[in-house]
Amino acid sequence: MLALSAAIYALGMVLFVVGIADSGSDTEWLAALAILGSTGSWLGGTVHSLIIRRKVFDRSETPNDYAVAFAQHRRELRQQARELVERDPALARELRIGRPDLPRHYDDGGLVDVNHAPVGVIAGLPGMTAELAAHVVETRDSVGGFISAEDLSIAADLPPQLTPELVELTIYLP
């Protein structure tokens, strides 16, 4: 169907160009071709755009669909960052993965490196309060760091409902 539309528009343009190119002669039918070519392309394009409008401007997606897609994208970024942390911790530190408090160019999807992030960043994690974050940093300083969200939850005696959020949003670089 697209090829047929393109052929019809091309024919209209050829008629227009032929009519204009020979407009100096006394032949009125060439002027009529030019008018027919330009008017036909204009009207045909208008009708065609109205016909295909719903395919081009599909409004079936809602703002929530965009929010879900964005959240899934952030989850994928976190997973890619975690894989990089596993493969090359030195590169992860250089890219400042998990350190939103430092200038960086790598998008890690919102991960927080609990072993190195300051209290304010840790306090920004879901379910975490300023008091809990301060306690996490104190515990980190006394034990030397954590290896997982479960280790953090046990060592810092955090409420159990925080652990799933910590698993999703934190990393533990040595």
Q: What tens digit of pLDDT does each residue of 41-90 get? A: 777 777 877 777 777 776 667 778 888 999 999 999 999 999 999 999 99
**99/11: higher pLDDT:** 99
Query: Both tokens of residue 106?
Result: 């790598």
Element (DSSP H or E) covering residue 170: strand 170-171
What pLDDT, on a 0 to 100 scale, did the predictor assign at position 46? 78
Residue range 92-128, pLDDT digits in tens: 999 999 999 999 999 999 999 999 999 999 999 999 9
**Which of the four pLDDT bands, split at 50, 70 and 90, describes residue 159?**
very high
What pLDDT, on a 0 to 100 scale, did the predictor assign at position 57? 73
Q: What 3-state class would DSSP assign to 97?
A: coil
What pLDDT, on a 0 to 100 scale, did the predictor assign at position 53? 76
Cα distance between residue 77 and residue 58, in whole Å: 28
What pLDDT, on a 0 to 100 scale, did the predictor assign at position 6? 67
Q: What is the pTM of this model?
A: 0.64
Sign of CA dihedral 147, 153, 155, 131: positive
What pLDDT, on a 0 to 100 scale, did the predictor assign at position 15? 66
Q: Where are the alpha helices (DSSP H) in the chain?
A: 2-21, 28-56, 63-87, 89-94, 119-123, 130-143, 149-155, 163-169
Kindly report the average pLDDT of the chain as a whole number. Answer: 85
- Percent of the chain topping pLDDT 70: 81
User: What single DSSP character describes residue 162?
Assistant: G
Query: Both tokens of residue 75?
Result: 């989850």
Give the CA distances from residue 106 to residues 113, 150, 160, in Å, rounded to whole numbers and listed in that order.
14, 26, 31
For the cut 90, the answer to whether the pLDDT of residue 35 exceeds it is no
For the cut 90, the answer to whether the pLDDT of residue 12 exceeds it is no
